[in-house]
Structure 1
Amino acid sequence: MESVPVRCPACRREHAYVTPVYPCPCGVPTAPPLLRGAPATPITHRTWNDDWVTVRCGSCGRHDQWPQPELCCPCGAVLRVPVRPVASAGHAAGAPGRPVRPAHIPLPRTAAAPRPAFRPLTIRTARDAVGAAALYLTWLGFREVTQPVTRPAFRIDLRAQGLIAQVDSTTRPTSLRDVECLWLNALNSSVSGVLFSLAGYTPDARERADGLRIPLFVLDLTGTPQPVNGAADELVSTGA
């Protein structure tokens, strides 16, 4: 897999970023070609249509749309990693006039046996973000994960046995107030709280979550949550 150095413009920390690999319908693993030397840019605003890149399969020549590579820095910034544009990118085979976006993207096993590989839900809408978080909580071992029919005023998107979760699908980083509101609601219900965000977290939100031991996850457009603090790493390691 291709790896490039990526420096966070916010904290200046350097990361070795490994290109995500996706399965082409022909069966050959395909990866977005990273643009070496180009700076990563913080994501401060998201649109559902602009976070995809065209990738050409080197085996069959097919063009498909895959999520734009992203990196979540420990400082809280979510970075867009530049990719080389595909010259004369045509339409995906088998779908004249429109690029094909996969319904889901099977990723390699990221947890120890016997937990099966997580099969994410590609995110295109805010509802998809909640659905992806629900799938992930179920994968972690939480039982009876449900979504309220109507979202309550205190913004609880998901419930499970012993757990409530909030999914922030807005285009701004999740704030300190969101963290504290979730913690208070979890405390009043005598359950644990988990936060998922599409745009990352403000520095003070991360600091407060660390102090309260609230797991924080960032959702990328493949629908795969990434842990961004110690509490989230511990939850992934131990499960529900």
Structure 2
Amino acid sequence: MPESVPVRCPVCHRAHRYTAPSYPCACGAPVAPPLDPDAVPVPVGHRAWQEEWVTVRCGRCGHDGEWPRPELGCPCGTALRIPVAGPRAPAPAAPAAPAALPKPPGRPGFRSVPIRTARDAVTAAVLYLRLLGHEDVRRAHRCPPAGVGLAGRGVLARVDPSSRPATLRDVECLWLTAMTESARCLYFSLAGYAEDARARADALGVPLFLLDPTGVPQPVNGPADALDAGGA
């Protein structure tokens, strides 16, 4: 079972209960970062790519994977970094060079990375967004309820590397955030989408993509098909 710890925001002093998300290891086992219940959460200020990841070892196969460092968004607007127990290995300074892969539907010459960790999933999404013309994609300052938020000029994306299908609430939260920032939005998921989430995304015009093990984003609804075929 994923770990759950009490969290108090040091800015507004609200009390929360945070549950660590689980991610699928390459062997198929769910992996969750071990949380430190005695440490104090730290507000996220300046973001650095190397600090966004934590190395977690799979209890089944022993593989070390890089997963998003746990964060909680408080209603007061503060993004809180949840402390992880035990030492962690340093994350590489930059993603590995992508390998050429067969083109996905409608997107010639796409290059991506095989997905073994959450960092690979984010890299695949960034490369796809750049293919659409968004060269300035970066980690979003406002963290989503789960997963990793990406932002560029006029675009927001959410990358969900967890082992559960994205929910209706996940899609609506992304759409509402994009509306407040007058941006288009895209959703990338490793585990797919619940039926009501897909129906809501169709109604709102949110493109949904499934990240397959090769790292190629596959469109799974009408808005995604249109975007994939027509570009940015």
State TM-score, norm by structure 2.
0.56
Which amino acid in structure 2 is aligned with residue 152 of structure 1? C
2:114 is aligned with 1:122: yes
What secondary structure, in the 3-state scheme, does the structure 1 residue paired with 2:193 have?
Answer: coil
Alpha-carbon distance in structure 2 between the residues aligned to 1:138 and 1:153:
21
Unmatched 5+ residue regions in structure 1?
1-44, 52-101
Alignment of 1:60-209 (within 5 A): 104-110=98-104, 116-148=108-140, 152-154=143-145, 157-209=149-201
RMSD: 2.4
Larger gyration radius, structure 1 or structure 2: 1
Tell me the residue number matched to 2:27: 49
- Tell me: CA distance 1:123–1:190, structure 2 relative to 1, closer, same or farther (3 Å): same
More strand by share: 2
Tell me the residue number matched to 2:216: 224
Alignment of 1:1-40 (within 5 A): none
Alpha-carbon distance in structure 1 between the residues aligned to 2:101 and 2:202:
28
Alpha-carbon distance in structure 2 between the residues aligned to 1:182 and 1:170:
16
Alpha-carbon distance in structure 2 between the residues aligned to 1:49 and 1:110:
25
Unmatched 5+ residue regions in structure 2?
1-22, 30-95
- Does the 8 A contact of 1:105 with 1:222 survive in 2? no
Which amino acid in structure 1 is aligned with residue 116 of structure 2? R
Q: How many residues align?
A: 143
Indicate the larger mover: 128-137 or 210-219: 128-137
- Does the 8 A contact of 2:187 with 2:207 survive in 1? yes
- Residue 129 (structure 1) shift: 0.9
State TM-score, norm by structure 1.
0.54
- Residue 171 (structure 1) shift: 0.2
